[in-house]
Structure 1
Amino acid sequence: MSTGLLESPLTAQPPPAPGPVPWVRRLAPGDREVLWLYLLTRVGIWTLAYCARWVFPGDGSARDPAPLLSPFERWDWNLYLDIARTGYFPGGSGPWKAGWDNREAFFPGFPLCLRAVHTVIPNWTAAGLLVSFVSGGVVVLALARIARNQLPDGGTDPGPHAVLFLLLSPCAVFLAIGYSEALFLAFALPAWLAAQRRDWPVAAVLAALATSVRVTGLFLAAAIALHFLLTVRAEAPGRRWRRLPWLLLPAQPVAVLFWYLHTHTGDWAAWDHAQQRGWHREFHTPWEAWLNTWHTAFGHGYPLSFAAAFQAELLAMLVGVAVLAVLVKQRRWPEGLYLALNLAALGTSFWYMSVPRATLLWWPLWTLLAARARKVPRFTVTYTALVAPLSVVIALTFLTGRWTG
């Protein structure tokens, strides 16, 4: 019998090769595939941003490209950055001053997260990109799991298909920049997964975090509450209604924000009034909103790029209505409620605005497309061939500063 002390270096067994780190080992093959898809599409967007600095300079006679991160410093990013740096009412300024930027229309979750990451990453833009990058990784893993839960019976793994459809969708660039969509979904999709497991405290906490990022979190909370009511009978009799108070938690971030804005403006509706001043989000009937958007898109009274953006708004609204009809037909009531509230909010202002971006938040759309890909083998290739070029056009439009919607 030999012992380790008597074994020579020539006879001793070599140590086992190092395996994957524990958190990688816990990922299923499908999860690793969706993360690989995610990384590839991030590289694609970063490459596009690099090329945009050289091929589409703001000044056609420029001899030097713009700063490396400048393509990501557009539009709403500057408002998020201003909130993270100086708060909502710096130096006593506010909506009572001329030229006010209406920053109180934005929820504080993303700026707070940005400020926290900035303590480690000195560059503000890099910090914002890191928030969205990490959030996006959570999003694709959660979306893949939702697709598997929705389509569990045999066939190919629907998770990578749902993720691919999201990552190649026309407005997918907004998941890769310093905007709030990725962070919102990083809370919202795990919240929905927790609700499916009937883990109501976790679902409520995550939904509250999602609500701190976007008002859409309230629509998620309504969907979770409906899911609770539809499944409460399956709970043990002694605990059926004990979890109900948790469902009130997602409303707290909104209450705190409205209270804060009121203390500085004296207006309990300060958030809504900022939406009206900055983005014409005052209430109009759905048919008025449709007609106003149609006139802007096809009335030949606006610049071509502006009109094209509103044509996209109309198309996105039609897609949303079609998805809602499918959800109702399939009796997926909670998800239908979530989408219906989204459409109602977006479709009752002066005109449609940001509906294409909002499609990123409609996770039932991506699971429905994954279900379609299971039935039609060529669907994924067809989607990629038709939608990916449009995604590149919209990404370039944003990255070169030509975005108008």
Structure 2
Amino acid sequence: MSAQATFSVERTGRRLRSLENIAACGPLAVSWVTIGGLAGGAFLWYAAVTHAALGPAATDAALIVALALGLAAVFALWYGYAAYFARRADVGLITALRADAPTWAAFAVAALGLVSPIALGSPARLAAIALGLFALGKIGVAARFVPTVRDVLVAFVVTRVAIIIVAELAAIVIAQRPGQHVAESTNPLLAVWGRWDAVHYLDVARRGYYGTDMAFFPLSPALIRLVGGALGNDLIGGLLVSNGALFFGLLFFYKLVEHQYTRSVARRAIFYVSIFPTAVFFSAVYTEALFFALTVASFYYIREHRWLTAGIIGAFASLTRVEGVLLFVPFLIEALASAGNGRAWKPLVATPARAARLLTGGLLIPLGLAAYMATLWVLRGDPLYFSHVQTHWDRRLAPPWASLGHAYRTIAHGVHGHAPALIAGQTIELAFTFLMVAILIAGFKRLPVSFSAYMTLSIIVPMSTSSLMSMPRFALVLFPMFVILALWGARPWVNNVVVAFSLPLLGLFTVFFSDWYWVA
């Protein structure tokens, strides 16, 4: 028998086994997927007929073809994803197929817009909702079989629900800080998440850059525009971006810590970062959640020596905040360490493909920052305008000790005219800065060199702006700090101290943020 004939027989055998596996799932599972396939086909047909002038006969024929394509595509995707999930979760293929089948029925929501688009919303909005339900279904299935996803989901849901309840009650029961404030929504339950810097990100998403908005990097507004545009509400889009990014950030953080240490350390790490006093910013329309997700994901792939993937994610991190470019340092440290005890340049030239991945990955990390600087050069003639415009907030390049001196003078001479709120803010910022530095000094020996280097630079850079403003919020994305705390937290008394410190302040800061008081 020829090789071609053998291949044909094997392919036919695989198809028959696939059909047998699908049949073994039972009629209920097949029905769920069929609903999803028909809905997908109907949506495909709608997209075709709205962009082409078809006669009645052609329209009917297009519907039949679209439904067939939708069914074929969804069944193929269902089987392919279930096979992948079965391997990753170490479960049987039939079990994976049955568990995953209901998630595909979420696409029926998109088809509802074709029946009554005026009552239910635009087809684009319903398609976005369907994708969201589909993703939630996938997470639910993964949590059922994968302990890592289950641990992360519990930490995420418990802490987010608690923060949301506190924030909404504060917005309703407690009066807002006196003064004029921007209301990002007429619904006070939504508007609570659009405070302070969120106004800038939403402005950029809606109208583009102008004035001081150029201090804020573009990836987060672009995602808000993408998701919010589909849903018809940028504020809701921003909330979905932040909270979705947080979930995946916690997932990568868990995997990063678990691979380096143990599962119990990973559980404590994601819990500590989720209850940190400024963790309310993870769920607001801020960049904290997105930046946290991108940095820990890039770090995870750096530690796994998947250089190109790490570089791509690092580029997005430096397009989110300027500190993202600092990922180049741990990238370089881990690349050199991969040589073991040999000469440091050997892993870079071991093979052409390896050298290309390393070089490309490393060069990609600053690409996001470079792209934004090039844009500012075109728009303003100043590639560093994102930094220079921060003089509006009294921030400028200065040695790290200058910011400490500024905070000390404000506090020490507070009786000479400074408002009590300013003194309290400076005291909190100084205290959190000392906390970050103290944890680094006390615990850096327990971290890999790349972690310690990144943490050190991530403290120095924001301190080099002549002000400690927002340092408590910057500490939130300083993930090596939470690794140190998680290692120490193996001792019950340390765990109790961390929780007792974090939870009351988290509640207090959430109330302040909700009522337009400055937190960080």
TM band (smaller chain): 0.7 to 0.9
Are 2:157 and 1:42 aligned?
Answer: no
Pairwise CA distance, 1:326: 4.0
SS in 1 for 2:366: helix
Q: Distance in 1 between matches of 2:177 and 2:312?
A: 48
The answer to whether 1:74 aligns with 2:203 is: no
Which residue, out of 87, 103, 113, partners 2:213?
A: 103
Hey, what's the Cα distance between the residues in 1 that align with 2:147 and 2:514?
Answer: 34
1:229 aligns to 2:375 (yes or no): no
Call closer, same or farther: CA 1:23–1:68 in 2, change over 3 Å: closer
Q: Tell me how far 1:288 sits from its aligned partner.
A: 2.3
Q: Which residue, out of 251, 256, 266, partners 1:146?
A: 256
Q: How does 1:2-401 map to 2 (within 5 A)?
A: 20-21=99-100, 24-27=140-143, 28-58=146-176, 67-89=188-210, 100=211, 102-152=212-262, 157-233=264-340, 235=347, 237-238=350-351, 241-242=355-356, 243-275=358-390, 277-300=391-414, 301-326=417-442, 328-330=444-446, 332-374=448-490, 376-401=491-516
Identical pairs, percent: 26
Question: Contact (CA 8 Å) 1:57, 1:66: kept in 2 or not?
Answer: no
Deviations along 1:128-154, whole A, 9 cap, x unmatched? Answer: 1111111111011111112212213xx
Asked if 1:403 is matched to 2:512, the reply is no
Q: Name the amino acid aligned to 1:137.
A: F
More helix by share: 2
Report deviation, 1:165.
Answer: 0.4
Displacement of 1:67: 2.2
Conservation of the 8 A alpha-carbon contact between 2:228 and 2:235: no
Q: Give TM-score, length-normalised by structure 1.
A: 0.85
Larger radius of gyration: 2
SS of structure 2 residue aligned to 1:284: coil
Q: For 1:26 and 1:128, how far apart are their aligned partners in 2? A: 25
Distance 1:73 1:335, change over 3 A: same
Coordinate RMSD, CA, aligned: 2.5
CA distance, structure 2, for counterparts of residue 358 and residue 191 of structure 1 = 18
Relative to structure 1, the CA distance from residue 188 to residue 130 in structure 2 (aligned partners, 3 Å threshold; closer, same or farther) is same
Counterpart-to-counterpart distance in 1, 2:338 and 2:140: 34
State whether residues 297 and 309 of structure 1, in contact with CA within 8 Å, keep that contact through their aligned partners in structure 2.
no
Q: Does the CA-based 8 Å contact 1:52-1:71 persist in structure 2?
A: no
CA distance in 2 between counterparts of 1:400 and 1:66 reads 14
The alpha-carbon distance between structure 1 residues 327 and 404, as it changes in their structure 2 partners (threshold 3 A), is closer
C-alpha contact (below 8 Å) 1:30/1:157 kept by paired residues? no
Secondary structure, counterpart of 2:489 in structure 1: helix
Change in CA separation of 1:204 and 1:378 when aligned onto 2, cut-off 3 Å: same
Question: Greater CA deviation, 261-270 or 229-238?
Answer: 229-238
Task: Note if contact 2:269-2:482 (Cα within 8 Å) is conserved in structure 1.
Answer: yes
What's the secondary structure of 2:231's corresponding residue? coil
Please give the per-residue CA displacement for 1:88-129, whole angstroms capped at 9, x wherever unaligned: 13xxxxxxxxxx4x1111110000000000122212211111
Cα gap change, 1:370/1:183 in structure 2, threshold over 3 Å: closer, same or farther?
same
Which TM-score applies when normalising by structure 2?
0.67
1:97 aligns to what? none
Alpha carbons of 1:159 and 1:59: their partners in 2 closer, same or farther (altered >3 Å)? Answer: closer
* Secondary structure at the counterpart of residue 299 of structure 2: helix
Contact 1:200–1:246 at 8 Å: present in 2 too? Answer: yes
Partner of 1:3: none
* Structure 1: distance between partners of 2:383 and 2:422: 33
Flag structure 2 segments of 5+ consecutive residues without an equivalent: 1-27, 30-93, 101-137, 179-185
Residues 273 and 482 in structure 2, CA contact (< 8 A), matched pair in contact too: yes
- 1:253: how far off? 1.5
Q: What residue is the counterpart of 2:50 in the other structure?
A: none
Contact 2:308 2:360 (C-alpha < 8 Å) held by counterparts: no
> Higher mean Cα deviation, 300-309 or 113-122?
300-309
Distance 1:52 1:260 in 2: 40
- Which deviates the most, 238-247 or 126-135? 238-247
Question: Once the 2 structures are TM-superposed, how far is the Cα of residue 395 of structure 1 from its aligned partner?
Answer: 1.0
What secondary structure is seen at the aligned counterpart in 1 of 2:355?
A: coil
Q: Which amino acid aligns with 2:503?
A: A
- Secondary structure at 1:107's aligned position in 2? coil
Residues 168, 514 of structure 2: 8 Å contact kept? no
Instruction: Report the more deviating stretch, 132-141 or 281-290.
Output: 281-290
Separation in 2, partners of 1:356, 1:186: 18
Deviation of 1:214 (Å): 0.8
Deviations 1:22-77 (A, max 9, x none): 665555324302211211111111111221122112389xxxx9622121121111
Note closer, same or farther for the CA distance 1:136–1:400 as it changes in structure 2 (3 Å cut). Answer: same
The answer (yes or no) to whether the contact 2:156–2:274 under 8 Å persists in 1 is: yes
Contact 1:147 1:159 in 2 (8 A): yes
Q: Which has the higher contact order (CA 8 A, sep 6+)?
A: 1
| Residue in 1 that maps onto 2:115 | none
